[in-house]
Structure 1
Amino acid sequence: MLGAGAALPLVAAGPAAAAGTRPAPRTAADVIVSPAAERQLIRGFGGMNHTVWISDLTPEQRNTAFGNGEGQLGFTVLRIPVHEDRANWSREVATARRAIELGATVIASPWNPPAHMTETFVRGNQTNARRLRHDMYGAYAQHLNDFHQFMRNNGVELYAISVQNEPDYAHDWTWWTSGEMVRFLRENAGSIGTRVIAPESFQYVKSFSDPILNDAQALANTDILGAHLYGTQFQNFPYPLFRQRGAGKELWMTEVYYPNSSDSADLWPQALDVGEHVHRSLVDAEFQAYVWWYIRRGYGPMRENGTISKRGAGMAHFSKWVRPGHRRIEATAQPAPNVYTSAYKGDGSRLVVVAVNKGDAAVSQRFVLENTTRSSVLSWVTDAGRTLAAQPGPGLSGGSFTAVLPGRSITTYLLQ
């Protein structure tokens, strides 16, 4: 290896070929990791628990979701619903309380206000569309605050509460216009006793959130700009206006499943798409949190039997090692076609690098760490035959290491 003083060992690329000679891994451009070039603060990774629509997580499944041992997801964000019926509020307490005990953050989103606060109207071809009555904005803010207080009284301190889940895709729940959202944020959100999330557009529709960013008072009463990524194209992940106007605010991706809800979460290499999606959400969109839809589902991070799926492994390669309080740092994002890399730093000398190789062929990848004093590398890999499997770490010398990224794989490196 040129410039490093000596050749470094390569990580094994998996079981030996049954016959013949394995092709030499192709070589990618160097990944330059710059710990001094800090980007966004990471808040965490997680998913949704909705005890009215599906059954609650069991005690063991709560530990699998929010614990960080072997066979656990290491999630640090739980999203729960604000039920319109207060009689259902207590259903969300047990899982939320356990998530907090395991170090997670809890956020909440409503689908509907209480029925007496709503009215129907005609919206296009929908004759029974639902919206919040304009004379009920203050009462609705109190409803959200009451949920916050209820959860606090039951041992769950909410990190934030949303105004409305997907106000622009509300055929089955409550519609809001961007103007209505701005009005509520301006006039009522300031009375809510925890952080406020808005607008949670279903497809990160910028024309819905732009008015919030362009209204000083609405923005002042918004703490987290939340978005969903259903069908959002990668080229629409960046948000220049948020970069211009969002100083002091957080940017969270609060719901998605990807690439669909019809296939098994263990379908491979399709499940590897999740690794790329998380990568682009953190690097291209610069989200601070990545939150899946249902935690336990056939297409989700946890199988119905309570074990981690391949899609879940794609998230866990981030969630288990990129912990709340880490910062993303500058790193070469795509050193070769179908190869995606990102890097993060925690306290002290801790660095985490995540590499996704969606190509069929193995890739010999050199990582160059600027101004490093780190001396050891640990690594874990997921591919067709392995899931979050520990493997020998590559040697680190002269501030760089070289590793083989197996074809169709995701690998996490921990440097200390």
Structure 2
Amino acid sequence: MTQSRNEPVSEERRSPSRRNVLAAMGALPILTAATSVTGASDAVAATAAATVVVDASARRQTIRGFGGMSHSAWIGDLTSAQRDTAFGVGDGRLGLSLLRIPVPEDRSAWGRDVATARRAVELGATVIASPWNPPSSMVETFVRGGQSNARRLRYSMYGAYAQHLDDFTTSLRNNGVNLYAISVQNEPDYAQDWTWWTSAEMVRFLRENAGSIGTRVIAPESFQYLKNMSDPILNDPAALANVDVIGAHLYGTPFANFPYPLFKQKGAGKELWMTEVYYPNSTDSADLWPQALDVGEHIHRAMVDAEFQAYIWWYIRRSYGPMREDGRMSKRGACMAHFARFVRPGYVRVEATAKPASDVYVSAYRGGASTVVVAVNKAASAVSQQFTLVNGTASSVSSWVTDASRNVASQGTTGVSNGAFTVTLPARSVTTLVTA
């Protein structure tokens, strides 16, 4: 099969237009990693920051999880050990709780990703699926701009396509994998290599056909969270009734476009997921430091600014992904694991001071009796960070850190006094704090 996932042209056909979009976002220069700063003895040298107030009673979105894509047809399947590394929660593991797989056009290929999906489920993960193309018998070509062979689903085949998606759902269920949701189309607005959909076509399908699909439905999965794809769904009550998850990708999406006021206004009862991204690029090694810290900030922004309930990376195993080709967690993966391992499905994001210092990003989550805080320090110096917990209790806090020399390394436990504690955030690091 010709690979259709648009990565760098020299590797896997990441189209020039997508690469230009990402380049415009900029990337951190390569810097020499500063010596890590840890422990109370280093606190004197650390920069002071404003107190982070964590309010356990100020509940925001429910978190569905953090995950990635497995696409065995294009890059080979995960091995048994790699599945455990991806979805396990112990030391050296990513803690992913979401898996995204493709919906093959050909029914004979529907079992291709089942082994990985089944193991992910055994380890507590949730599985979703996205199609790149309908079966060829349902597709017609048309002229779109300068593309003479653009593809779209024939209007007479909308019902048959809904049946195709439902049949895939049934096939996986019969093989031990209950899909949480299935998408109508991967990136319908960036489809030179797959199937185009206009927003009007998407609304029509949702209104007239999506209700017959026997699982939750995701739409529209715009490649850049372009609201002209999702606004029409939110503004059409009949279409909105047949969609369960507003899904989006964040390729080149400016942080300023992360918030979605219309979803807050009209999306009651629906979920908001980020279903695919890599960041900041697909050309650098995932172990490049401190560039990998960009992943930590990006997830923070997706949780706090966009209020997504899920964050799903592109390929789980790739040179630029959370898992290296040798099956070990990368630096980008370590930054992701600070969220994925500790912020589990069903946890709720709670209000916290999001930016106590110019280069520090903080988010907080509540699960059971514990509060989880993830702090990203992109500064070249350590930060002495005070935390105050309100409307919640804690007697101790455990911490894990990733910096230039460590990956999600346990830092032990410190005490909490009257809801307050202070932690040194090492230079260029991610720290996860878990209260007890």
Q: Are the counterparts in 2 of residues 318 and 354 from structure 1 also a CA contact under 8 Å?
A: yes
The alignment status of 1:399 with 2:419, answered yes or no, reads: yes
Letter of the structure 1 residue corresponding to residue 325 of structure 2? E
Matches within 5 A, 1:331-346: 331-346=352-367
Deviation at 1:201, TM superposition (A): 0.1
Are residues 1:379 and 2:403 paired?
no
Structure 1 residues 185 and 236, CA gap change in structure 2 (3 angstroms): same
Show the counterpart of 1:328. 349
Partner Cα distance (1:51, 1:88) in 2? 10
Please name the residue that 2:185 is paired with: 164
8 Å Cα contact 2:273/2:311 also seen in 1: yes
- Alignment of 1:126 onto 2:150: no
The residue type equivalent to 2:423 in the other structure is A
Find the residue that maps to 2:61 and give its secondary structure. strand
The separation in 2 between residues aligned to 1:88 and 1:53, in whole angstroms, is 13
Paired residues of 1:371 and 1:399 also in contact (CA < 8 A): no
CA distance in 2, matches of 1:143, 1:366: 54
Whichever residue aligns with residue 372 of structure 2, its letter is: V
**Structure 1 match to 2:160:** 139
Mapped pair 1:13 → 2:34: no
How far apart in 2 are the matches of 1:344 and 1:390?
Answer: 19
Alignment equivalent of 2:88, drawn from 67, 80, 104? 67
Does the Cα contact within 8 Å between 1:354 and 1:410 map onto a contact in 2? yes
**1-structure distance, mates of 2:393, 2:374:** 19
TM-score (ref. length: structure 1): 0.95
Q: 1:371, 1:102 → 2: CA distance?
A: 33
CA contact (8 A) 2:217 2:245 kept: yes
SS of the equivalent of 1:128 reads strand
CA–CA separation in structure 1 for the residues paired with 2:266 and 2:44: 50
1:93 lines up with 2:117 in the alignment: no
Counterpart CA distance in 1 for 2:391 and 2:250 is: 36
SS of 2:220 mapped into structure 1 = strand
Residue in structure 2 matched with residue 4 of structure 1 by the alignment: none
The aligned residue for residue 48 of structure 2 is: 27
Aligned residue in 2 for 1:299: 320
Q: 1:102 aligns with which of 87, 106, 123?
A: 123
Which of 224, 245, 252 lines up with 1:203 in the alignment? Answer: 224
Give the 3 Å change call, closer, same or farther, for CA 22–280 of structure 1 in structure 2.
Answer: closer
Shift of 1:372: 3.0
1:358 to 378, 397, 406: 378
Q: Which residue of 1 aligns with 2:248?
A: 227
Alignment correspondent of 1:117: 138
* TM-score under structure 2 length normalisation: 0.90
- CA distance in 2: counterparts of 1:315 and 1:55, whole angstroms: 22
Q: Give how far 1:24 is off.
A: 1.5
Give the aligned residue type for 2:149.
N
**Ranges of 4+ aligned residues in structure 1 off by more than 2 Å:** 12-17, 392-395
C-alpha deviation, 1:86, in angstroms: 1.1
Q: For 1:16-37, what per-residue CA distance to the aligned partner results, in whole angstroms no more than 9, with x for missing partners?
A: 99xxx99721111010000000
Distance, in Å, in 2 between the alignment partners of 1:231 and 1:68 is 30
Which amino acid is the alignment partner of residue 399 of structure 1? Answer: G
1:254-265 mapped onto 2 (5 Å cutoff): 254-265=275-286
> Residue 38 of structure 2 contacts residue 424 of structure 2 at CA under 8 Å; is this kept in 1?
no
Note if contact 1:274-1:311 (Cα within 8 Å) is conserved in structure 2: yes
Alignment gaps of 5+ in structure 2: 1-35
Tell me, yes or no, if the aligned pair for 1:317 and 1:354 is still in contact at 8 Å.
yes
Q: How many angstroms apart in 1 are the aligned matches of 2:292 and 2:39?
A: 21
Aligned to 1:412: 432
Rounded Cα–Cα distance in structure 2 between residues aligned with 1:86 and 1:394: 55
Query: In structure 1, what is the equivalent of residue 77 of structure 2?
Result: 56
**CA RMSD between the two structures:** 1.4
In structure 2, the partner of 1:6 is: none
Corresponding residue for residue 218 of structure 1 = 239
Q: In 2, distance between residues paired with 1:121 and 1:338?
A: 49
1:240 maps onto 2:264 in alignment: no
Where structure 1 has 5 or more consecutive residues not aligned to the other structure, the ranges are 1-11
CA contact (8 A) 2:258 2:306 kept: yes
User: Residue type matched to 1:162 in 2?
Assistant: S
Identity of aligned residues (%): 71
2:324 is matched by which residue type in structure 1? R
